[in-house]
Amino acid sequence: MHRDLIFVCHASTRATRLATFPADDPIDEAGRTRAVVAATSASGRGQAWCAPSLAARQTALACGLDATDEPAIRDCDFGRWAGRPVADVLRDEPDGFRAWMTDPGSAPHGGEPLNALVARVGRWLDERRQARGGGIAVTHPAVVRAAIIHALEATTATFWHLDIAPLSQTCLRTDGRRWTLRSLHE
């Protein structure tokens, strides 16, 4: 029997609009409006989880989901870069930024390396393989990327080739043994 797990990327925030490393930002009004519209396709999908962040919780609520906070699908820890514009980090720490973009084990910001993010999300997905029924997880773009990488058994370098838009839906399917990428919807 196949089961689907749908990842919904949280609604737009100031960070997503301004190319800023995310902090615990609330969703913006445009994102809230779009999330209410998206509610019809998000409801009735089985168990619901959300990252323990303001944006994920607000998105789940706007979509009408009774979601349980799940720490394993929290956003990547961007350390001292959280809340800073990407352009400023690139200007102030070009070597660190370059290391982070090219070495998945690097965390020049003092936060979480991408390898650790992919491993964390992968462990959570592996626990879900044997669960009954489908589900929906409201989380962050970085977590959705990590889930796709795990499902496809791709390298972490693939992270930079995946563009996950606010409120996009990514469906992973399991047969209890492995995950497959079923669909991507924006």
- Show me where the domains of the chain are located: 3-78+113-185
Q: pLDDT tier at 43 (50, 70, 90 boundaries)?
A: low
Residue with tokens 């996950």: 164
pLDDT of residue 2: 85
Query: Can you give the pLDDT at residue 44?
Result: 55
pLDDT of 50? 97
Spatial CA neighbour of 86 closest among 97, 99, 76, 75? 97
CA 120 to centroid of chain Cα atoms: 12
Predicted confidence (pLDDT) at residue 37 exceeds the cutoff of 80: no
pTM over 0.85: yes
Q: Among the CATH numbers 2.60.120.10, 3.40.30.10, 3.40.50.1240, 3.40.47.10, which is that of 3-78+113-185?
A: 3.40.50.1240
Please give the pLDDT value at position 99: 96
- Give the pLDDT band of residue 10 (cuts 50, 70, 90): very high
Report the SS3 class of residue 27: strand
Half-sphere exposure of 5 (CA within 13 A, CB side): 27
